[in-house]
Structure 1
Amino acid sequence: MHKIFTLLLAAFSLLSFGQTIEQKAAEIHNKVFTIDSHTDTPLKFFKGDFDIGLEHDGRKGEGKVDIPRMEKGGLDAVFFAVFIGQGERDSLGHAKAFEKAEQIFEATHQKVKKNKKKAEIATTPKQGYKLEKKGKRAIYLGIENGYPIGNNLDNINHFYDLGARYITIVHSHNNDISDSSTDRVGPEYNGLSTFGEEVIERMNKLGIMIDVSHASDSAFYDVLELSSKPVIASHSCARALCDNPRNLTDDMLKVLAENGGVIQMCILSDYVKKLEQSPERIEGKKAFRKKHSDWSNYTEEERKVGLRDWYQLDVEFPPNLATVSDAVDHIDHIVKVAGIDHVGIGTDFDGGGGLADCSDASELGNITLELVKRGYSEEDIRKIWGGNFMRVFREVAAK
């Protein structure tokens, strides 16, 4: 009853001064520094001549993030993920993963440099705020999956020098660092490996944020116990609202808050709300997996074909998507459990992220509108849209 009264009072106050809720939300969205902590947009760089300086149509499989749509959606900064799918865990597999990571770093630097009048690569929180004041977009880099580290800690230093400012330690399958939350084989180390413990120590020392999205529950707790600095979950939601192993339990949310870290609410529907999908889409995905069953050994041309087929699935068999309201339910829950200082936004655009009413970067203002409708203050929204994440970024980067 109190919340309903608060919302009605807020609406009445806005209308009394001649400003609609939509106008108020747009004003706040324009004022606050906004950062999306996780997108897989670099995957598009290996599908033809994708130019992030041009506007594309995400509903046609052309990608969900580019500079024009960041501008339309009021997105000041973004983390592009250098994503490496898990392959063979031997010297050859590690060498291939390392080489692929370097290629993605190079491609990203080139794409951004081509659009230097509109965007720049950033490596510190301060640079992001400076670029915002210049009207430019800040492009940060992270690594999704610690696989290209191989068994060499010095590779972490190398990737830091290339611009990486966080590493998602594991992806969908166990690697040499950590158990994954979704490996069908099950846990290998019951958390972190011995080498994984050394990785955490090195990342702390260098000032690279440790990302626990995709990590198993046991690995999550190992990281939180070992890390001397705050930790992030760059694209995860609340398991209490959507029972997916990729999401964090209430206890995990509390521990993350005690650590000073932040969970970045993800808008990939599978992590937001369980929804029935059409039989055609289910069969389409099965056919895709059958056709592309040896991804780790693909040639560059085969990889391009695979990516094209993956994005085409959403065109031919549109998914049943959750809504912005469903996603903000997760923010409400995280705030209730962990507090307003420990939640942010990491869309997972171009990696599956997208909602029925927030399909790409141009529509991110719809999240702010929902937050305003629910009574969140400008300061609350400033924290959610970037303040909390950038605080962690600063604390981790501090030597």
Structure 2
Amino acid sequence: MPHNRYNGYEAYQYLDEDDDYKTFSLPDELHNGEPYQVPLDEDEEVRAQQLGEECTIVSFHEHPFYFPLETDEIAEYFNEGRVHTSYEGLAESNLDAVFDHLINDYGTVRSPNGWQWDDTIYDLGHRLCDLAHQDCVIRCESVDDIRYAHEEDLVSLVPAVEGAGMIENELDRIDILYGLGIRMMGLAFDYSNYVASGILENDSEKDGGLTAFGEEAIKRMNKVGMAIDLCHSTDQTALDVCAVSDKPVFFNHAGARELWSTNRMKSDECMKAVADTGGVIGITAAPPNITSSKRDDHTIDAIMDHFEYIVDLVGIEHVAFGPDLLYGDDDSVYPAYFPDKEGDRKVETIYNSPKEGHGFSTVSDMGAPKGMENPTEAWENIVRWLVKNGYSDEEIEMVLGENILTALEKVW
């Protein structure tokens, strides 16, 4: 249910526009396309509303901020270092906690290449300073903070990053990031680094898996209580980490490669290994990453094909949701971020399905899944879909958040 404690605060309202920071054309509405609700009958409506209020709902992976309306402003917008959290969107959502994965390779305040230490600190610092000036969203440091947010009608925001390139070869930077608020970190974001191999190396002789330094990084992350995500790392890296880590590890925004055959999706072997650590697999819905080869359309049902496949594979106690969505025009943002260039290895090997005869051959063919345009709409419809498809109250409570919290209690 929407959070009634929202007072209308907009990002960086404590500063003067165009004096303290540059303004950009941002969306006026949460929806770009036509809003959609999974249809329910009267009894299902009552049940969905009740579960939305009673369950602790945790999104394992989002980017809950606005992208500019004009795609040619995106680079300058991120270069300014002040992306605008959608407090309105979070307040209108049913979320109790959201893992905010910041801006990653778009963090280009000091360097045009992203993933630099200074850029990560700038990004995190600006976002947390803004967060401190409003009172609907709190910064999360523990499972207790998420429980508190649920009880007090707040949203708990968990700062996270998708790759560890910025730590370079310095283990102590893990401690520093934890001290500054980061509670989850990926290893390699597509490209390999000091820690691990990125998914551009999947199925190649260059896939070295976890490095010797990476093993030390995993041990340090276990010690400080930093959750480990493996989504943008290779299969071998995932298997290596599962063997090394003493704590549960995660795929926080993933899907099944058996249903959508790209390197961004995960093999059965790797998902079983993550589950064996006590970890959780969050189902993604990001437009360029995932749909279902069982369907010719792109809707919430295609995303839930992956949910049901992975539940059958590893058990419902190891599955949750990390939609990986944003507030903005997905239909223009994603093609701008992933241009369809012939020979672009990253796009062709990671995001475009090689399955022949499917309706989506390029990134620009895939807009946001119907019913999951942004985090607010997605999480309302996740609850509705689970109710409509006959899942029990206990199962719904598990996949909406309890599975994540149970695993995090062993990590944090």
Superposition TM-score tier, normalisation by shorter sequence: 0.7 to 0.9
Instruction: Verify: 1:378 aligned to 2:401, yes or no.
Output: no
Distance 2:193 2:65 in 1: 22
Selected match of 1:106 from 125, 128, 140: 125
Selected match of 2:383 from 345, 358, 368: 368
Instruction: Verify: 1:393 aligned to 2:408, yes or no.
Output: yes
Selected match of 2:166 from 137, 148, 151: 148
Post-superposition CA distance 1:58-83 (Å, at most 9, x none): xxxxxxxx222223221111111134
Name the CA shift for 1:204/1:21 in 2 (closer, same or farther; >3 Å).
same
Q: Which residue of 2 aligns with 1:5?
A: none
Q: Following TM superposition, by how much is the alpha carbon of 1:20 offset from its aligned partner in structure 2, in angstroms? A: 2.4
Distance 1:210 1:35 in 2: 17
State percent identity of aligned pairs: 26
CA contact (8 A) 1:328 1:371 kept: no
Selected match of 1:39 from 39, 45, 62: 62
Instruction: Verify: 1:20 aligned to 2:43, yes or no.
Output: yes
Q: Which residue of 2 aligns with 1:70?
A: 90
Q: Which residue of 1 aligns with 2:359?
A: none
Distance 2:93 2:196 in 1: 36
Structure 2: give runs of 5+ residues left out of the alignment. 1-39, 68-76, 327-332, 335-366
Selected match of 1:335 from 297, 311, 328: 311
Selected match of 2:266 from 231, 240, 248: 248
Q: Please give the TM-score of this superposition, normalised by the length of structure 2.
A: 0.71
Name the CA shift for 1:50/1:227 in 2 (closer, same or farther; >3 Å).
closer
Post-superposition CA distance 1:348-369 (Å, at most 9, x none): 1139694221111221211111
Selected match of 1:346 from 322, 345, 355: 322
Read off the aligned partner of 1:28 and give its amino acid letter.
L
CA contact (8 A) 1:86 1:172 kept: no
Post-superposition CA distance 1:225-275 (Å, at most 9, x none): 001110011111111111121111222222222111100000013433268
Q: Following TM superposition, by how much is the alpha carbon of 1:47 offset from its aligned partner in structure 2, in angstroms? A: 7.5
* Richer in helix (by share): 1
CA contact (8 A) 1:272 1:322 kept: no
Name the CA shift for 1:154/1:321 in 2 (closer, same or farther; >3 Å).
farther
Aligned residue pairs, count: 319
CA contact (8 A) 1:269 1:321 kept: no
Name the CA shift for 1:186/1:101 in 2 (closer, same or farther; >3 Å).
farther
Q: Following TM superposition, by how much is the alpha carbon of 1:321 offset from its aligned partner in structure 2, in angstroms? A: 7.1
Q: Following TM superposition, by how much is the alpha carbon of 1:188 offset from its aligned partner in structure 2, in angstroms? A: 3.8
Instruction: Verify: 1:80 aligned to 2:103, yes or no.
Output: no
Name the CA shift for 1:339/1:47 in 2 (closer, same or farther; >3 Å).
same
What secondary structure, in the 3-state scheme, does the structure 2 residue paired with 1:196 have?
Answer: helix
CA contact (8 A) 1:86 1:147 kept: no
Q: Following TM superposition, by how much is the alpha carbon of 1:187 offset from its aligned partner in structure 2, in angstroms? A: 5.3
Deviates more, 1:334-343 or 1:240-249: 240-249
Distance 1:213 1:75 in 2: 22
What secondary structure, in the 3-state scheme, does the structure 1 residue paired with 2:173 have?
Answer: helix
Q: Which residue of 1 aligns with 2:351?
A: none
Structure 1: give runs of 5+ residues left out of the alignment. 1-13, 53-65, 276-319
Q: Please give the TM-score of this superposition, normalised by the length of structure 1.
A: 0.74
Name the CA shift for 1:86/1:365 in 2 (closer, same or farther; >3 Å).
closer
Q: Which residue of 2 aligns with 1:238?
A: 256
What secondary structure, in the 3-state scheme, does the structure 1 residue paired with 2:61 have?
Answer: strand
Post-superposition CA distance 1:322-350 (Å, at most 9, x none): 21111111111111110011011111113
What secondary structure, in the 3-state scheme, does the structure 1 residue paired with 2:56 have?
Answer: coil
Q: Following TM superposition, by how much is the alpha carbon of 1:85 offset from its aligned partner in structure 2, in angstroms? A: 2.2
CA RMSD of superposed structures (Å): 2.8
